[in-house]
Amino acid sequence: MHWDIFCKVIDNHGDLGVCWRLACGLATAGEEVRLWVDDASALSWMAPAGQGGVAVVHWNTDSAASEADGAAAPDVLIEAFGCDPAPELIARFAEAARASGRKRPWINLEYLSAEPWVERLHGLPSPVSAGPGAGLVKHFFYPGFSERTGGLLRETGLAGQRQRFDRAAWLRAQGIAWRGETVLALFCYEPPALPALLARLAEGPAPTRLLVAAGRPTRAVQAGLPDAGGDFGGAGDCGALRISYLPAVPQAEFDHLLWSADLNFVRGEDSLVRALWAGVPFVWQIYPQDDGAHHAKLEAFLDWLQAPPSLRRFHRLWNGIGTGALPALDAETLADWGVAVRSARHRLYVQDDLITQLRRFVGQKS
Ligand code: TRH
């Protein structure tokens, strides 16, 4: 079938990151996919090689009408994160549905959360009563961590690739002079506890290799480093802390970054899921929301993860909830966190992945 996915880039990279991964998963499953996105610029580094079966269409309200004229209506319309596709494109979809006399599913793909209400809303219909889509029915599709949600994006063969990964070879290929020290990968916004973490790592005594992702993480580290009098704008040592700043890399390489670490710091939505598949201890900085709604979302996730107390405490401090000293990142603590993550990953692996569930759901609604 022919699927149109609509994506609007709000900020950061997750909207496009999730939609690209979704488009690739559908194409790999044999579907024809068009990804309509208002700002596709990040694909230049996130997916430089593109993906067979996925066409990227740059859309905005001005271009939508002309794009709609030239393109056949899809069999399935995916509206990612409530991005509200242009009315011309909805009208074309509605017209095709009426003309064919066949129901064409309109799916609202929602943000990821472990909160209990997700299970209640997942799959519910929402009749469209106004506008060019009047008469159609949207369905809410919620990703999630339990059997009663739409599951998580997980490519076939991922576990095998993960098991075959050679961290020393990958680090060497990145030009990182790894000498067996503990590796931390950092992908964050501006966590309030970052300066304290950097100061502690710089004190040692054991050396740590910190791999810093491009963009906000790099700027946050350079702003948060203890004043050691040196120039730490570039890669280099800060006491016992050995820092490598990475360029923006394709999604597959971003996975390898997470696989190479002993402890991952991730953020947002997509990298959280990738950290779970990596099976390595991780700390998540949730996407902050003004009304503090993200606090409940964070607690719900830590409940689902069955996070040990030290991991809960670290998460609260990392997300600016509460004050005090960060828990120690000693071997025993990381081992404890690793058990929780791999147990959670096992629970997820016995569930169908999101593409499988979405295709089944669409088949039922067509
Ligand atoms: O970038 P994010 O903070 O995106 C956020 C979240 O998705 C949030 O839920 C959403 O509301 C907001 O955007 C609008 O974090 P996230 O979700 O992990 O997305 C990052 C994507 O970028 C992910 O697909 C991984 C990818 N990435 C690379 O592929 N290479 C890189 O070098 C880096 C740094 C990221």
- Choose between 20 and 292: higher pLDDT: 20
Parse the chain into domains and list their residue ranges.
2-151+352-365, 158-349
Q: Is-catalytic flag, 290?
A: no
Read off the pLDDT of residues 183-211 as tens digits, 9 standing for 90 and up.
Answer: 999 999 999 999 999 999 999 999 999 99
Give, using CA atoms, the residue closest to atom 13 of ligand 1. 14
- Closest ligand 1 atom to Cα of 112: 9
Closest-CA residue to 266 (of 278, 249, 248): 278
Four-residue CA torsion sign, 159, 250, 166, 240:
negative
Read off the pLDDT of residues 2-51 as tens digits, 9 standing for 90 and up.
Answer: 999 999 999 999 999 999 999 999 999 999 999 999 999 999 999 999 99
pLDDT value of position 290? 83
Tell me if domain 2-151+352-365 and domain 158-349 are identical in fold.
Answer: yes
Q: Are 213 and 246 in contact (CB under 8 A)?
A: yes
User: Which residues make beta-bridge pairs with 127?
Assistant: 137
> β-pairing, 282-285 with 263-267?
parallel
Q: Are 281 and 314 in contact (CB under 8 A)?
A: no
Please indicate whether residue 239, judged by its CB atom, sits closer than 6 Å to ligand 1.
Answer: no
Q: Which amino acid is at 64?
A: A
Q: Is-catalytic flag, 291?
A: no
Please indicate whether residue 13, judged by its CB atom, sits closer than 6 Å to ligand 1.
Answer: yes
Read off the pLDDT of residues 203-259 as tens digits, 9 standing for 90 and up.
Answer: 999 999 999 999 999 999 999 877 644 444 455 788 999 999 999 999 999 999 999
- What pTM was computed for the model? 0.96
Please indicate whether residue 269, judged by its CB atom, sits closer than 6 Å to ligand 1.
Answer: yes
pLDDT value of position 61? 64
Rounded CA-CA distance 36/26 in Å is 15
Residue in 31, 269, 270, 353 annotated catalytic: 269
Closest-CA residue to 3 (of 303, 11, 22): 22
Q: What is the dihedral of CA 349, 355, 360, 366, to 10 degrees?
A: 170
Average pLDDT over every residue of 279-287: 98
User: What distance in angstroms lies between residue 272's CA and the mean position of ligand 1's atoms?
Assistant: 9
The architecture (CATH level 2) of 158-349 comes to 3-Layer(aba) Sandwich (3.40)
pLDDT above 70: residue 68: no
Please indicate whether residue 265, judged by its CB atom, sits closer than 6 Å to ligand 1.
Answer: no
Q: Which residue has the tokens 């201890």?
A: 281
pLDDT above 90: residue 103: no
Please indicate whether residue 267, judged by its CB atom, sits closer than 6 Å to ligand 1.
Answer: yes
> β-pairing, 125-127 with 137-141?
antiparallel
Q: Which two tokens stand for residue 279?
A: 């099976």
Domain 2-151+352-365 has CATH 3.30.429: no
Say which residues have a Cβ less than 8 Å from residue 256's Cβ, sequence separation at least 6.
Answer: 165, 170
Rounded CA-CA distance 136/224 in Å is 51
